[in-house]
Amino acid sequence: MDPSRLQCLIDLGHTDQRRREDAVRDCANRGEAFVPEVARVLQEGDTGARRGAAQALGRMGGQQASDALTAVLDAEDGKLRKNAATALGRVGSEAAVEALGRRLHAEPLDYVRSAVVLALGRIDTDQTAQALLAWTPATPSDEEARRRALGDRVPRAPVGFDTDKPWTLPVRLSVPQGLEEVVADEVRALGVPVSGTHDSSVRLAKGTPPWAVWPAVRGAYAVRAAGKGAPEKAIPALLATLTRTKDTTYRLHVDGPRRSRAELRTLLTRLRRLLAPLGITDQPAAYDYQIVLTQQDTFEIEPSFLGDDRFAYRHKDVGASIHPVIGASLARLVATGPTAVVHDPTCGSGTLLVERALLGAGAVSGTDITQVAVDAATTNIQAAGLDIAIKLGDSALIETWPEFVDEVIVNLPFGVRTFGSGEDVTRASVAFTGAKLNRGGRALFYTSQVNTVTDALRDAPDLKLVRRLDLDAGGIHVVALLVERA
């Protein structure tokens, strides 16, 4: 198995919360083709890994994921049952309603019952409402969970930042680690000033509202407003920036250094007591906004339903696909101009090519050795409304490349995209770039095999390394190498 795929499966059970969350996100981003491998971890992994696998499958969705999650609703581990129920609610599988209903009547643990109730509330069918109304709550927490679940059946306006209010709070974009300056340049290109960059962050200039950059900036994961001072002052000020707070739900999230379970429980209990009089509801399974305690012990708020159709073209995916947020920044980094001839020799689902074409380009083309990838790329390109030529072929053969190109952008294999080894593809990609790239052209190699690429560059004297960016991709160290042809 490709090392990055194996690593994300291993990290599903990692003891470090951030590594575990990154692994869940990484597995989910690999798409439907990766579901069987995550489902295997759910069935056969250790306790921690199974819990993480349930979370990942909830994000991946689909019938395969639903079936795997339903199968562990009766597991011995209560936290696994809770995660499986929450994930089924997220998947929204009507087929799971009957199994969730049975679990609800049999479940001995309060916190698991609450998760089952909220999961049923998220699956919007008459059957789920009937199952909830037919159940007799045993405790006040059961009553509260059912109230929330049935309340979620009433259509509610999404919560966002209130654009009619004057803006005074700091704003931060959450961005891929290592690409902070690239995203800052994208922000500046919109005419929006930047006050600075930091680890995985781009801070906007004072007085700049979130809607000045969101969702226009493609290289950011999320936009957050930052509070100042003690929580008693900071959190109400953050809530005041939202379109509404009455009858809204929130989730508390803690970033930063790892805390002991006892410290975390004490901290969250204190915050919930502080928030209780404000008339908002703690509902981690279905929340309108996230309140975040940062590494610097300050508070931020992130609405969950801000308009974001930036990557709506991604209808299909393949294993080891690049995250589109990262892809958008890499496309910006390699771009030479609006008439450039662009090629991706291992195009996968086409993300890099779509992101590059959206910036303006001439002829854009891609190759992949698997028909699954070619079909996925074709579907995504059509959804984006772009004219990009995709063909089936082995990138390790020079005849599959265009005659000449101005740019090469390539996510070198984490998975198998060519006959032979990943090293063969890497060396061929560098060598053929040297042969095909026009003078003044650029190439961007996104790779975990940095030594192989730099070694191959020694045999391509016309290619000059001009920039190296060290990135974090779901806990995996990846490097983006930008080269130019003299």
Per-residue confidence at 416, pLDDT binned at 50, 70, 90?
very low
- pLDDT value at position 255? 79
- DSSP at 232: H
pLDDT at 37 over 70: yes
Which residue is listed with tokens 């399974």?
A: 285
Percent of the chain at pLDDT > 90 equals 59
C-alpha span between 168 and 113 (Å, rounded): 42
Per-residue confidence at 417, pLDDT binned at 50, 70, 90?
very low
**Hey, is 242 helix, strand or coil?**
strand
Phi/psi region, residue 385 (left: phi>0; alpha: psi -120 to 50; beta: rest), is left
The residues spanned by each domain of the chain are: 3-151, 171-303, 324-485
Q: Whose CA is closest to 393, among 346, 342, 341, 356?
A: 346
Question: Superfamily for 3-151?
Answer: Leucine-rich Repeat Variant (1.25.10.10)
Percent of the chain at pLDDT > 70 equals 95
Task: Kindly tell me the sign of the dihedral angle through the C-alpha atoms of 380, 473, 456, 396.
Answer: negative
Three-state helix/strand/coil letters over 410-478: EECCCCCCCCCCHHHHHHHHHHHHHHHEEEEEEEEEEECCHHHHHHHHHCCCCEEEEEEEEEEECCEEE
Q: Could you read off the pLDDT of 111-154 as tens digits, one per residue?
A: 999 999 988 888 877 778 777 877 888 887 887 788 778 765 54
* pLDDT greater at residue 392 or residue 27: 392
- Decide: residue 437, CB within 10 A, 0-12 exposed, 13-18 middle, 19+ buried: buried
171-303 matches 324-485 in fold: no
Q: Mean pLDDT check: name the lowest of 143-157, 200-214, 276-290.
A: 143-157
* pLDDT greater at residue 420 or residue 393: 393
**Token couple for 479:** 């490097």
- pLDDT value at position 124? 72
C-alpha span between 23 and 27 (Å, rounded): 6
- DSSP at 385: T
* pLDDT greater at residue 425 or residue 256: 425
Longest dimension (CA), the chain: 75
Question: Superfamily for 324-485?
Answer: Vaccinia Virus protein VP39 (3.40.50.150)
Name residues whose C-beta falls within 8 Å of residue 337's C-beta, 6 or more positions apart in sequence: 360, 406
- pLDDT value at position 2? 67
Query: What is the average pLDDT across 53-71?
Result: 91
Per-residue confidence at 186, pLDDT binned at 50, 70, 90?
very high
pLDDT at 155 over 90: no
CATH topology of domain 171-303: VC0802-like (3.30.2130)
pLDDT at 420 over 60: no
Which residue is listed with tokens 């995985």?
A: 200
Query: What is the average pLDDT across 317-328?
Result: 88
C-alpha span between 393 and 401 (Å, rounded): 9
Which residue is listed with tokens 């597991």?
A: 75
Asked if 485 and 437 count as a contact pair (C-beta separation under 8 A), the reply is yes
